[in-house]
Structure 1
Amino acid sequence: MDYRHLGRSGLKVSEITYGNWLTHGSQVEDEAATACVRAALDAGITTFDTADTYANTRAETVLGEALKGERRESLEIFTKVYFPTGPKGANDTGLSRKHVLESAEGSLRRLGTDHIDLYQAHRYDHATPLEETMQAFADLVRQGKVLYVGVSEWTADQLRAGVELARQMGFQLVSNQPQYSALWRVIEGEVVPASRELGVSQVVWSPIAQGVLTGKYLPGQQPPEGSRATDAKGGKDMISRWMSDDVLARVQELKPVASDLGLSMAQLAVAWVLQNDNVAAAIIGASRPEQVHDNAAAAGVTIPADAMARIDEALGDAVVTDPARTADSSPKERLT
């Protein structure tokens, strides 16, 4: 496993990071989830990403149990705050001081740890002054409950404002967690250039486009039983944007590229995002241990320039590049 620095900080993270969105506490049973975490550890993955809203806090609990007994200093545990938890009361969401501080305590308890390595603002909160949010993060850092602070799906302007406030308050904003894959490249136009300037790394989610880039979904055919595209608990909705016959046919054209490089399709997809030097880590998810081992083998892979060009040619105009899509991902009004 290779490691990369997170932003300009001294923290190193495994470039393949294990995440449990849409799986732990939801799609897969706890025993299978634990097996996937063990597989991640066996593959050299030390960085684990979750969020309090995943399975309405259940995912944090499952991850905490799965990591119990591991040397804490050898792990980097990430979680997030913003989206609704609990009964979804008026203060059960957002980035108010109340919600941030109370959520941090809940995450620490569920994860079974006394500190969070990276605490991330899961979205930008238009209903709370940014100063209030950043002050709450600063206080958690000073208390030693949070070591580093990041965000998720923030625009270039939001990152600039956040980094400046963090600097004034005596801590670093080191990372952004956006969606990024060979099919979804909206961060490349504005977010990545700004992040390079600011010393912020990307920790990217969905590098395999919810499984589409594995090539297992075929144009004109029903999705395989048990796949994400058949999951009624949320997976089916998330993957739907990629399920057109045109996109699926273009993805099939990547198979000879992967074959020529001696990679599986999943490894090609994960290695593709890691070619971007602003990406510190690619988050993988899994419902079976063998998926973890397959994806983890993408660590350290270099894709030659001619193969990168072949990928671009194959996917063509199926690729989404509009920078405005980042702003679209943050709710304009607080969810309750």
Structure 2
Amino acid sequence: MEYRFLGRSGLKVSALSFGAWVTFGNQVQVPEAKKILEGALKAGVNFFDNAEVYAGGKAEEVMGQAFKELGTKRSDLVLTTKIFWGGQGPNDKGLSRKHIVEATQASLKRYQVDYFDVIFAHRPDVTTPMEETVRAFNHIIEKGHCFYWGTSEWTAQQIEAAWGVAKRLNLIGPLVEQPEYNLFAREKVEVEYAPLYKEYGLGLTTWSPLASGLLTGKYSKDHIPEGSRFALEAHKGSRERSLVEEKLGKVDKLKKVAEEVGASLAQLSLAWALKNPHVSTVITGASKPEQFEENVQAFKFVPKLTPEIMDKIDEIMQTKPTPSKVYRE
């Protein structure tokens, strides 16, 4: 396993990590989770991603119980969660000081741990003053509930605003952003955030490297494997947006590039994301141990992504963003 620093910090995280979204608490319960996590740990994974909203909190319970039963040493783990959607009450959503503090306490209880390594603001909250949010994350750090805080799916402007408050008040700013990043979604990581890497040392923990499974090549317009993500009713909208002729055609062409380097399409797609030097860790998911065993082999294909191969990928995808594009949001 390769380990990278999380942004401009001394925290080392596995370049491939494991996330509980969709699977834990829904498709996967504690017995299966133990097998998957045990395999991930043996492969050297130390970064594990979760959120209060995943399976209504059950994902945190399943992951926490699985680690407890495995007897994993806490200091060997980099545990994270994300806060924004916590329930139906008027104060159970957003990034108010009340919700950040209460959600942190609730997540710690579900996980059965004393602290998180990183807590993310799962989405920006335009209804709460930025100063309140920044102060609240610093409060939970001071209380020892977490060591670092970050953002997820924030704009560059919002991240800069948070850093502006932090600098003015001599507080800790967001260390890391968690955006979607894959061969279909590139602009935020490659263009919008570009000034932030040098200015703030922003790290990235990217999600959906396989575009919800589309970049595994297992889907076609007429074939959706039973038990797969797109077979779930909750992902009907994503299924309809993804399984379209244009995207499926690109996936078929990518399979030939994967064959050329000796990789599966999933391994090629993961290696492509790992090749970006600004990515601290690529979050993967799995409902079966063998899926993660295949994914972790992606490392050996990173050196095979030569400039010529990268050009072939770009020619097929036609998703490489224009560097000169400037965002004003």
**TM-score if structure 2 supplies the norm length?**
0.92
Residue in 2 aligned with 1:110? 110
2:225: which partner in 1?
Answer: 224
CA distance in 2, matches of 1:179, 1:124: 15
Alpha-carbon RMSD across the aligned residues, in angstroms, is 2.1
Q: CA deviation at 1:316?
A: 2.3
- Give the structure 2 partner of residue 185 of structure 1: 186
Give 3-state SS (helix, strand or coil) of 1:61's partner.
helix
Identify which range, 191-200 or 307-316, moves more after superposition: 191-200
Residue pair 1:140, 1:146 contacting (<8 A) in 2 also: yes
Structure 2 distance, partners of 1:191, 1:199, is 11
Report the counterpart of residue 331 of structure 1 in structure 2: none
1:312 maps to 2:276: no
Amino acid at match of 1:215: G
Aligned AA for 2:121?
A
Q: How many residues align?
A: 322
Partner in structure 2 of residue 200 of structure 1: 202
1:334 equivalent in structure 2: none
Off by >4 Å, runs of 4+ in structure 1: 319-327
Residues 155-179 of structure 1: per-residue CA shift (max 9 Å, x gap):
1111111123234343242100001
Are the aligned partners of 1:228 and 1:236 in contact in 2 as well (CA < 8 Å)? no
- Code of the residue aligned with 1:63 in structure 2: it is M
- Residue in structure 2 matching 1:76, options 75, 78, 90: 78
- The answer to whether structure 1 residue 175 and structure 2 residue 206 are counterparts is no
- Tell me the CA shift for residue 194 of structure 1: 2.4
Instruction: Please list the CA deviations of residues 89-117 of structure 1 after superposition, one character each: whole Å capped at 9, or x if unmatched.
Output: 10010000000000000111111111110
- Deviations 1:153-209 (Å, cap 9, x if unpaired)? 111111111123234343242100001101111212212332343211111000000
Change (3 A) 1:291 1:325: farther
Task: Tell me the alpha carbon deviations over residues 110-131 of structure 1, each in whole angstroms, 9 at most, x when there is no partner.
Answer: 1111111000000000010010
Deviation of the 1:321 alpha carbon:
8.0
Task: Kindly indicate whether residue 272 of structure 2 is the aligned counterpart of residue 272 of structure 1.
Answer: yes
Cα distance between partner residues in 1 of 2:130 and 2:43: 39
Structure-1 separation of matches of 2:239 and 2:265: 17
Higher relative contact order (CA 8 A, sep 6+): 1
Give, in angstroms, the shift of residue 228 of structure 1: 1.5
Note closer, same or farther for the CA distance 1:93–1:102 as it changes in structure 2 (3 Å cut): same
**3-state DSSP class of the match of 2:318?**
helix
Matched to 1:16, the amino acid is: L
Q: How much has 1:30 moved relative to structure 2?
A: 3.2
Q: Which is worse superposed, 11-20 or 183-192?
A: 183-192
Instruction: Give the conservation status (yes or no) of the 8 Å contact 2:192–2:326.
Output: no
Cα deviation for residue 79 of structure 1 reads 0.5
2:263 alignment partner in structure 1: 263
| 2:4 aligned residue | 4
Deviates more, 1:261-270 or 1:199-208: 261-270
> Quick check: which one's helix share is greater?
2
- TM-score (norm: length of structure 1): 0.90
Corresponding letter in the other structure for 1:14: S
| Aligned partner letter, 2:177 | N
Q: What are the ranges of 5 or more consecutive residues in structure 1 without an aligned counterpart?
A: 328-336
- Equivalent residue number for residue 18 of structure 2: 18
Distance 2:321 2:33 in 1: 32
One-letter amino acid matched to 1:311? I
Gaps of 5+ in 2: none
Q: Secondary structure at the match of 2:158?
A: helix
Counterpart CA distance in 2 for 1:321 and 1:28 is 40
Conservation of the 8 A alpha-carbon contact between 1:117 and 1:146: yes
Corresponding residue for residue 286 of structure 1: 286
Range 23-32 or range 12-21, more displaced: 23-32
Deviation at 1:304, TM superposition (A): 1.2
1:46 aligns with: 46
Structure 1 99/13 Cα, relative in aligned 2: closer, same or farther at 3 Å?
Answer: same
Cα contact 2:63–2:111 (8 A) shared by 1: yes
